Amino acid sequence: MVTLTIDGREVRAEEGKVLLEVARDNRIDIPALCQHDSVAAYGACRLCMVEISRKGREKLVASCLYPAEEGLVVKTDSPRVIHVRRTVTELLLARCPDSEVLQDLARKLGIERPRFSLEEGNHKCILCALCTRACEQVVGASAISLANRGTARQMATPFHAFSEACIACGTCAEICPTRAIDINDVGDTRIIVMPNVTMEFKLKQCSVCGSYWAPERQLEHIIRQAGLPDNAFDKCPDCRD
Ligand code: SF4
Ligand code: FES
C-alpha cells in the first residue's frame, strides 16, 4: 500500500492502482469518458487529467493511466485542471455537438457555448475507442477499429462496409459513452447504426414460441467458443426447461 494526498486528503491505495480508481474509491469525482473497467486503459478523451506534484515538480497527467505512488500529491480541481477540462470539453463538444453527455458536462463546467466552431452533421462519436477495445478484448471479434489519422480519424468497419467479423452482440452500443451507436430489433432483423455504416443481421427464431430473440451470428459465436451442440439455442430462454 502507498499513501498519497488527493485534494488535500490523505488516502491509502494499492501501489500501481491508477489515480482515477483511487479517486473513485474515495468518492472524488473525475470526469472520464474513455475508461471502462472491462477493457485496458487507453487515454483517449483527456477529460480525466489531474495535476500531480512529485519532488517539487508539477505536471498534468491522465488519471486513468497514472499509477498511485508513495507521497504523490494530486489535485483534481486546481485552476489548471479545470482549465484543461473545460478546453477538452469544448473541443469534444465542437466535434460532437449532439452528444447529451458532453452537453451535460459542459453545463456542469459552466460552458455556455464552445469557443471552437461546431462541426456540421449528427456527430456523437468522440473517438474514445471503448467500442473497438470491447469488441477486441471482451467479445474477441475485432469487427471495428479506429481508422485514418488526424481530422479524418473515425470509428469504422473494414472498408466502411458490412463487417463479416461482427456478431451483432451490441456490446459496442452498450459501452459507448455518447450513444453514438444505435441498435434496434425490428421483426426478424437487428439493425446496427454506426457513425459510418448501417448493418442488418438476422435474428434467431425460437422453435417453440416463434419469437425472434437473439442474433444468429452471436449464437453461432457462442456455440463455437463454448463447443456447444449446433441446436443449443433452438429455443429461447423462456421456452427452455
Ligand atoms: S462509437 Fe462510441 S465507443 Fe466507439 S469510439 Fe465513438 S464514442 Fe467511443
Ligand atoms: S478517461 Fe482518462 S483519458 Fe479518457
List domains and CATH numbers for the chain.
Answer: 2-77 (3.10.20.740), 130-239 (no CATH)
Determine the pLDDT at residue 176. 97
Probe ligand 1: pick from 105, 142, 155, 193, max atoms within 8 Å of CB?
A: 155
Q: Which of helix, strand or coil describes residue 196?
A: coil
Residue nearest to atom 3 of ligand 1 (CA): 176
From CA 217, how far away is CA 185, in angstroms rounded?
14
Distance 140 CA to ligand 2 centre (A): 23
Distance 218 CA to ligand 2 centre (A): 30
Q: Which ligand has the shortest distance to the CA of 129?
A: 1
From CA 85, how far away is CA 213, in angstroms rounded?
42
| Beta-strand relationship, 198-205 and 212-215 | antiparallel
Ligand 2 atom having least distance to the Cα of 64 = 2
Task: Report, as ranges of residue numbers, the positions in the chain whose pLDDT lies below 50.
Answer: none
Residue 13 in grid coordinates: 491505495
Residue nearest to atom 4 of ligand 1 (CA): 131
Q: What are phi and psi of 60, to 5 degrees?
A: -95, 135
Distance 7 CA to ligand 1 centre (A): 31
Q: Which of 206, 238, 200 is nearest to 219 (CA)?
A: 206
Write down the pTM of the prediction. 0.91
Question: Over the stretch 179-220, which tens digit does the pLDDT of each residue have?
Answer: 999 999 999 999 999 988 999 999 999 999 999 999 999 999
Determine the pLDDT at residue 153. 87
From CA 72, how far away is CA 5, in angstroms rounded?
6
Determine the pLDDT at residue 71. 93
